[in-house]
Structure 1
């Protein structure tokens, strides 16, 4: 603490600060100031200094990237971390990189997003009853956060889900890393996570109930729309739409027809 305020460079900055936030907007603002993980801070800022040739004219965001979407979302989507030249450049999660291209196109195809492409954080994109977030808010070298970095960042995800709790009905979890990061967060928050803990898989579904058994949230696993998964057809646009549509269905979102001409 410095002058009664948490120090952004301190290892416990997320743990101290996240529970103090009372709105999603306040949480997002606090996330963007975090400098708790030295390796990630150095990497995100080095990427912003060196840049990629195609983005030479950009002023990179080069900070932690908050979640995106309304604070009363019924469906959450959890990925891995910002891309070095995607969210780390644009300042919005899954924006400006191939993974985001696939995700937002799929959300648009099933009428959960206002447009099919996400180029920058002021492009007018809106999500309908959906919020996208990540367990690690800084771009990691090689897209591989350490377990320490994941655990340091965990309070942000825990508080975000707590703030969404009144409306949240389903979570689509993109990738094994996000699945493994999410389950302890839910357990610590009092949700009754099955034992042994359920394994990740594309299309896997798990229902978790609160301590009183009165409310439940559906977890739906899906492969991450990484460039590699999409190029090898491990994940196709149709497969991605299917898990997102299932998430919308169990979240109780209004049924909407798929838009014409969806990507295969």
Structure 2
């Protein structure tokens, strides 16, 4: 089987082999977010191909979202920006239209065994150790969002001993700084449902009040799940916009 795989690889176009080699370096962490890719000329020389072939390999990485070209600087491993992701779903401006920045209140963090449902999302074994984070996001002291976040325990164990004052408002930079885990992409799914007693209390609502529910599955550069979260937000502040081009 290994010989067949090697033969298939040798039959692949040269640009695709260069693409696969660069992608492997990104997924394995040899090329990190923000790193500069080798130039087309350097790649063409090291792989013994024409510059146009190397350019086609880089084009594939750009088209599939792994890297981005910066005019006059080169091509860099892409770092996803989630800092304004809530703005897609909630009105985060004041009456004058000035952008507001949600602040986070950490309610708790604990280790617990994975239920069958969460294990399926995170692609881990049932009952394997997970880390659960609970927090509230506020804008001008108004509770906007209640979140429960689940992480594979083996990859995020340093968070269990992290002092509360070191958490900050954004989790993804924290994951990278403390656990060396980088979120590459995430999929959000929206629906509406009744708020359970706990989340309703933190949102200042009556239990059973309809809220917007946002589930997120985040993956790393290796395409393995890093985080599954359930966020519940106030419907009176919900706003969704999407550009169709």
The TM-score normalised by the length of structure 2 is: 0.26
Q: Which protein has the larger Cα radius of gyration, Structure 1 or Structure 2?
A: 2
Q: Which has the higher contact order (CA 8 A, sep 6+)?
A: 1
TM-score computed with the length of structure 1 as normaliser:
0.25
